[in-house]
Amino acid sequence: QSALTQPRSVSGSPGQSVTISCTGTSSDVGDSKYVSWYQQHPGKAPKLMIYDVSKRPSGVPDRFSGSKSGNTASLTISGLQAEDEADYYCCSYAVSYTYVVFGGGTKLTVL
Amino acid sequence: EVQLLESGGGWVQPGGSLRLSCAASGFTFSRYAMTWVRQPPGKGLEWVLDISPSGDTTYYTDSVKGRFTISRDNSKDTLLLQMNSLRAEDTAVYYCAKATWGQFENWGQGTLVTVSS
């Protein structure tokens, strides 16, 4: 049950696009339909941004998109806005469906 | 509107016990798996335990097996977490979340558990 690997930090200017990667193994990200992404502002609870690899919950802007290739999932945020500055966590339901694993988190800074 | 409200957090000495509750509303509680996720101060999220909608199946992360017990009362729309033999490394904000295939659409506001002498 090792944590998924995310970059510690990424940054971008308003209007630009950034991509956050999330690398796991063939036992979790690589073989799971259930990869999700969460946004967390300081002192707040996490918020679901992407589920089932690439689906957006109602109310999440279409600037947020998810994808997966092999053992790596990615979250892309286009048209960066100041309010996107937050921590982002990926999450995968393991192929054995007996556990869930999170990434270590990525701090997004909007310059 | 889905609401999840945790309670029961606080300070406890190492080796002690604590029981967390999560009151759910705004959805049919008995139809959903529920999860506890924790976050140590200044650190990332960690999945801790899952329980099936009926309560007959549970999953635990290795570090809490034998010490933590998840349960639910579907008649009261309440999720419970019994934590025994607490350690300093269990110090964290504990969130309950509504789960669908290991994905968490709704979260509570969290309750802080501090294990310290």
Per-residue HEC secondary structure of chain A comes to CCCEECCCEEEECCCCCEEEEEECCCCCHHHCCCEEEEEECCCCCCEEEEECCCECCCCCCCCEEEEEECCEEEEEECCCCHHHCEEEEEEEECCCCCCEEEECCEEEEEC
Instruction: Return the ∠ at Cα B64 (arms to A47 and B35), rounded to 5°.
Output: 30
Question: Which letter does DSSP use for residue B16 in this model?
Answer: -
Whether residues B102 and A100 touch (CB distance < 8 A) is answered with yes
Query: What's the average model confidence in pLDDT over A35-41?
Result: 98
Biggest alpha carbon distance in chain B?
Answer: 40
Contacts of A104 in chain B (CB under 8 A): 44
Q: What is the pLDDT of residue A96?
A: 73
Is B60's pLDDT higher than 80?
Answer: yes
Residues B62-91: pLDDT tens digits?
Answer: 999 999 999 999 999 999 999 999 999 999
Q: How confident is the model at residue A60 (pLDDT cuts 50, 70, 90)?
A: very high
Q: Which of B46, B59, B102 sits opposite A34 (nearest CB)?
A: B102
Q: How confident is the model at residue B12 (pLDDT cuts 50, 70, 90)?
A: very high
Q: What is the pLDDT of residue A94?
A: 77
Contacts of B46 in chain A (CB under 8 A): 102
Average pLDDT, chain B: 96
- At residue B74, the 3 state secondary structure works out as coil
Contacts of A103 in chain B (CB under 8 A): 44
Whether residues B47 and A101 touch (CB distance < 8 A) is answered with yes
Query: What's the average model confidence in pLDDT over A58-83?
Result: 97
